Amino acid sequence: MVLRRLCMLVLGLNLMAVTAMAQGSASQVSVQEARKVIQDGNTEWGKARVAHDKATFEKMLAPDFSVNAGGQKHTREEFIQNISTVRPNVKLTRFDATVLTVVPKGDAWEAIIQEKLEFEKTNPDGKIEHGASLWITRDGWKKTGDEWKILYSEEVAHELWINEKPPITGW
């Protein structure tokens, strides 16, 4: 009887440990809360991208943020400079992001994001090209105190279409 109770206690503790590991030590935030915050953050990010809103980028990105895209790693400063610079011949007209997955990773959260971008580019001859691009990224988010920050973003894949509708359902 004592052995059985001991086994039940050990099993119970193991289940609690597995549950805690599954939730990670991601600031004791539920998956539902993390998903909502990350989705809302991506909606805000999309608006900021179209507006080239440097103040929002500064606010949302962690101090040691980095991005891996196109096979290159960029610092927070390089990335902010790149996405906040308005180019006279290119206009970003759409940046919609959808959170696909959210999982705890250590004391943070990792999300797979689908980004739909559209832009207009004026060529030297004055002709306007319409472009669309689908990006899949792996982004890290962390809650520190009352604030959520983006820790990193890594390109998983992307595809580009010029002057044609992307063959993606619901585009």
Residue 73: pLDDT over 50: yes
pLDDT at position 96 is 97
For residue 8, tell me if it sits in a domain: no
For residue 90, tell me if it sits in a domain: yes
Number of domains composing the chain:
1
The model carries a pTM of 0.82
Q: What CATH number is attached to the domain comprising 38? A: 3.10.450.50
The chain-wide mean pLDDT, for the chain, equals: 88
For residue 6, tell me if it sits in a domain: no
For residue 14, tell me if it sits in a domain: no
Residue 101: pLDDT over 50: yes
DSSP string, the chain: -HHHHHHHHHHHHHHHHHHHHHHTTSTT--HHHHHHHHHHHHHHHHHHHHHT-HHHHHHHEEEEEEEEETTEEEEHHHHHHHHHPPPTTEEEEEEEEEEEEEEEETTEEEEEEEEEEEEEEE-TTSPEEEEEEEEEEEEEEEEETTEEEEEEEEEEEEEEEESS--S-TT-
For residue 17, tell me if it sits in a domain: no
For residue 13, tell me if it sits in a domain: no
For residue 11, tell me if it sits in a domain: no
For residue 64, tell me if it sits in a domain: yes
